[in-house]
Amino acid sequence: MRKFLVVLSIVGLALMACGGGGAGNPEDAVQGFFDAVKDGNIDKAAEFIQGGIPEDERPMLAEMGPVFEMMEIEVTGSEIAEDGENAVVFFSIGFMGETTEDEIELILDDGNWKLEGMAF
């Protein structure tokens, strides 16, 4: 019984440390967001965005899932600002024989990296 309580306490602390979603590093946050959209899991995708996804924008993002499935998205690097609170993640998107490079800004929110300022 005592071992069970110790394990339960550790699991509880681990869950509290996870906060409200996001990721432990900027690159994982971007990859997690793209993977969640590809899977059609908008609730999970919202965990990677500061402030979540407004209800009225969720249907449009859900419709993007099949398009994301056709894309080859690769995170290519990141830079964390000196303040340790902001970052930029670089990624490439391959679609229909074309590849483009892009970047997205992230913010450290309650210990988790989240995409900042997403507009859908």
Element (H, E) at 90: strand 86-95
* β-strands 86-95, 98-109 pairing: antiparallel
Cα–Cα separations (whole angstroms), residue 106 to 23, 34, 66, 70? 11, 14, 25, 25
Q: 3-state DSSP call for residue 25?
A: coil
Q: pTM for the full model?
A: 0.77
Q: pLDDT tens across 20-79, in order?
A: 567 889 999 999 999 999 999 999 999 999 999 999 999 998 898 899 889 999 999 999
Domains identified in the chain and CATH numbers: 21-115 (3.10.450.50)
Which residue, chain included where needed, has tokens 């869950």? 15
Q: pLDDT tens across 5-20, in order?
A: 222 233 333 333 334 5
Query: Are the C-beta atoms of 76 and 68 separated by less than 8 Å?
Result: no
How far apart CA 1 and CA 82 sit, in angstroms, is 47
